[in-house]
Amino acid sequence: QKEVEQNSGPLSVPEGAIASLNCTYSDRGSQSFFWYRQYSGKSPELIMSIYSNGDKEDGRFTAQLNKASQYVSLLIRDSQPSDSATYLCAVNIELKTSYDKVIFGPGTSLSVIP
Amino acid sequence: NAGVTQTPKFQVLKTGQSMTLQCAQDMNHNSMYWYRQDPGMGLRLIYYSASEGTTDKGEVPNGYNVSRLNKREFSLRLESAAPSQTSVYFCASIPGQGPYTEAFFGQGTRLTVV
């Protein structure tokens, strides 16, 4: 089992709809979870971070975390064509040495259709 | 404020050739990472350095070596390049141990091995 898994997509949604992206992880000790957006040919950029169970909202973006189910999601409301990108889920895998290791999922390609 | 700088941006190698990818950050971060990204695979961790003087293997270390030259610089070496190492390579830095915040990425190196 891979440490971080995502639906590979591609996911297509019409403009104005809600896009839902999902991520599961295997390490129960993980404490920090992140969503990065990556446009084609560019570097990933952080859009959301979440550390506690529940929802965290930032503008049109909502991250949801359920540690018991080892599940993280990202909702994008009122999707825009500019949201078309690959979304990467990242998990901070805590190590016994106390140093952290960051593992990324394979990414979900999102296409917002005008 | 340069952030994370990778060199070179593009490189074509012949099978069996060697090269070193350079990465430098000016944010005084403790942790640095090397990832490779292939279509549909997301970011896969090659090696990471939690602090100056330490390096550890990630998910796909075979065929690579790294050097944490100092706090600023973390290089990735391919001793004998193979076509399977054709990929986009990203260097990233993170402030340090403890609560993880955000990974800052370089602009990437697109490597082709023929």
Q: Report whether pLDDT(A31) > 90.
A: no
Query: What is the b/e burial string over A26-44, where b = at least 16 CB atoms within 10 angstroms of the residue's CB?
Result: ebeebebbbbbbbeeeebb
Query: What average pLDDT score do residues A13-27 get?
Result: 95
* B42·A51 Cβ contact <8 A: no
- Higher-confidence residue of A44 and A93: namely A44
Q: Are A73 and A23 in contact (CB under 8 A)?
A: yes
* Confidence at residue A47, expressed as pLDDT on a 0 to 100 scale: 94
Decide if A101 and B101 are in contact by the 8 Å CB cutoff: no
Cβ-based contacts of A34 with chain B (< 8 Å)? 100, 102-103
Search chain A and give the residue with CA nearest B106: A43
Say whether residue A12 is in contact with chain B using an 8 A CB cutoff: no
Mean of the per-residue pLDDT values for chain A? 90
Share of chain B above pLDDT 90, in %: 72
Q: Does B101 touch chain A (CB under 8 A)?
A: yes
**Interval A29-45 mean pLDDT:** 91
Closest chain A C-alpha to B55 CA, distance in angstroms = 11
Query: Is some CB atom of chain A closer than 8 A to the CB atom of B58?
Result: yes
pLDDT tens-digit map of B7-54: 999 999 999 999 999 999 999 988 899 999 998 778 899 998 988 888
Q: How many CB pairs under 8 A join A and B?
A: 65
Give the residue-averaged pLDDT of A13-35: 93
- Band of pLDDT at residue A1, cut at 50, 70 and 90: low
pLDDT at A100: 64
pLDDT in tens, A54-110: 999 999 999 999 999 999 999 999 999 999 999 999 998 766 554 567 788 999 999
A82 contacts chain B (CB < 8 A):
no
Q: Which residues contact B66 (CB under 8 A, 6 or more apart)?
A: B34, B46, B47, B49, B55, B74, B75, B76, B77
Whether residue B113 has pLDDT greater than 90 = yes
Q: Does A11 contact B at CB distance below 8 Å? A: no
- pLDDT band of residue A9 (cuts 50, 70, 90) is confident
Q: Is residue B6 predicted with pLDDT exceeding 70?
A: yes
> Least CB-CB distance to A102: which of B42, B51, B94?
B94
Cα B30 to Cα B51: distance, rounded to the nearest angstrom: 5
Higher pLDDT, A98 or A37: A37
Query: pLDDT at position A97, please?
Result: 55
CB of B89 within 8 Å of a chain A CB? The answer is no
pLDDT of residue B99: 58
Cross-chain residue pair A104–B31, CB shorter than 8 Å: no
